[in-house]
Structure 1
Amino acid sequence: MLVEFGGLPGTGKSTLAGRLAVETGAVWVRVDEIEGAMRRNGLTPEQTGVAAYSVAHDVAANHLRRGLLVLADAVNPVAEARAGWRDLAASLGSRHLVVETVCADIDEHRRRVETRDNDLPGWVHPTWAQVQRTMASYQPRTDDRLVLDTTDPLEDSYQRLMAAVHLSVTQVRG
């Protein structure tokens, strides 16, 4: 099964995906991590965007073919990015769960963006001004998805996520 995490930077995608990966043994594919590696190897940010998604799709496909749970962690700000994950899952006959993280409290969202730690070599997290530009161009999602407002306690969001993953896995086996 493919679990696609999307949402603006700083809304909790990686926090939730990372915990899910640790607790389930899932493969965690982070577009930011791929872009960081590309930048360490001389590519500019303008060169990495689409290429990083392409690499992420290839890595995810390999693991999905092996029957593993794959967590795709990316902003997915536009319909084309989202279609890539949807089409990948469909082409492999994999279940596809979409999770969109939001942070409804704008002050909290800004605080998170401005104070978060960086665990990815070669990656520079966007500034609040950059996140605001992404907000302005972020296409609203209309697909079937689990929306998690991460201003709720982390444990509540994680339990909702786990319930949705369990339900999706059960439906596949059922």
Structure 2
Amino acid sequence: MTEDEPILVARRRFTEAGGDRALAIGLYSELIPDLTRLLGPDHRQTLTARHRLAVCVGDGGDREGAVRLLREVVPDLARVLGPDHELTLKATGHLAFNLGERGDRSAATAMFQRLIADLTRTLGPDHQQTLVTTRLLAVNVGADGDRAEAVRLLREVVADMARALGPEHEQTRRARCDLETFESSGLPGIV
């Protein structure tokens, strides 16, 4: 560990805990060159900061910017950590989500489907990340106009979540809310 590394780690943690998207984007944008210089472009902390920057950009409403950043970091994560690493899979999920939110629903659907297969193989069908990704696929499919398929997928994932996570788990409640929304109006309620 270099003498500057603890400072960089502390800055990263502060950035994540802050909650202010604009501040987080600014801090990550300053932090990434420092991490790259001190730890290298392929260090896990550098890659994690790049991923978190992309997430903050997307959460701030810049879906195009998030897609651009995620398309840059996902291949690097896969190359350095492996295609089945948890961080690679999470970043791929964020890429699929942002693709859908910017309006490229068919690309998002295809990516979500591949990701669910990878998550099922690596983490299992009842892992929270697998189930949440299935929920996001369903909402994306519904937002793309296939309400019947969205309802079918959501019914399955609500039952799976209730069994695996519990009926009152936050993610189960979100999936149930999405199901109720699609059954009554067909409009997605991504939260």
Same fold, TM-score > 0.5, yes or no? no
Say which structure is richer in strand.
1
Larger radius of gyration: 2
Q: Which structure shows the higher helix fraction? A: 2
Which has the higher relative contact order, 1 or 2, with Cα contacts under 8 A spaced 6 or more apart?
1
- TM-score by length of structure 1 reads 0.30
